[in-house]
Amino acid sequence: MSCPKTMTRSITIARREWSSYFYSPIAYVAMFAFLLACGALFWEDFRPGQPAAMRTLFEWMVWLLVIVIPLLCMGLLAQEWSTGTIETLMTAPVGETDVVVGKFLGSLGFFIVLLLPTLLYVAMLRLYARPDLGPILSGYLGILLVGALFIAVGLFCSSLTRSQVVAAVSCAAVLFVITIVPWWASAKAALSPFWRRVTDQGVFTRYTDFSKGVIDTGNLVFFIAATVVFLFLTVKVLESRRWK
pTM value > 0.75: yes
Residue 24 placed within a domain: yes
pLDDT at 212 over 50: yes
d(CA 28, CA 71) in angstroms, rounded, equals: 10
| Closest CA relative to residue 76, chosen from 142, 147, 16, 125 | 16
* 244 is a domain residue: no
Neighbours of 51 (CB within 10 A): 12
Q: Report yes or no on 213 lying in a domain.
A: yes
| Phi and psi torsions of 68, nearest 5° | -75, -45
Q: How far apart are CA 148 and CA 72, in angstroms?
A: 12
What is the model's pLDDT at position 51?
A: 62
pLDDT of residue 191 exceeding 80, the answer is: no
Q: Band of the pLDDT at 44, cuts 50, 70, 90?
A: confident
Range of the domain at 20: 3-238
Q: Is the pLDDT of residue 49 over 90?
A: no
Triad 147, 150, 152: Cα angle to 5° = 110
Evaluate whether residue 243 is within a structural domain: no
Name the percent of the chain lying above pLDDT 90. Answer: 50
- Does the pLDDT of residue 54 top 60, yes or no? yes
Q: CB-hemisphere CA count at 13 Å for 138?
A: 20
On whether residue 52 sits in a domain, the answer given is: yes
Q: Specify the number of domains making up the chain.
A: 1
pLDDT tier at 1 (50, 70, 90 boundaries)? very low
Higher pLDDT pick, 167 / 42: 167
41 pLDDT tier (thresholds 50, 70, 90): confident
What is the pLDDT of the chain when averaged over all its residues?
A: 85
Q: What is the pLDDT of residues 227-238, one digit of tens each?
A: 999 999 999 998
- DSSP-H helix ranges across the chain: 3-21, 25-45, 55-73, 78-83, 85-89, 96-115, 119-128, 133-159, 164-175, 181-185, 193-200, 203-211, 217-242
Quote the pLDDT of residue 50.
60
Asked whether 64 and 34 are in contact (CB, 8 A), the reply is yes
Q: What is the pLDDT of residue 190?
A: 54
In-domain check, residue 44: yes
Cα angle at 136 between 131 and 140, to 5 degrees?
160
Q: What is the mean pLDDT of residues 159-187?
A: 85
| 195 in any annotated domain | yes
pLDDT tens digits, one per residue of 95-134: 889 999 999 999 999 999 999 999 998 888 888 777 778 8
Sign of the dihedral defined by the CA atoms of residues 29, 32, 37, 40, in that order: negative
Q: Is residue 117 part of a domain?
A: yes
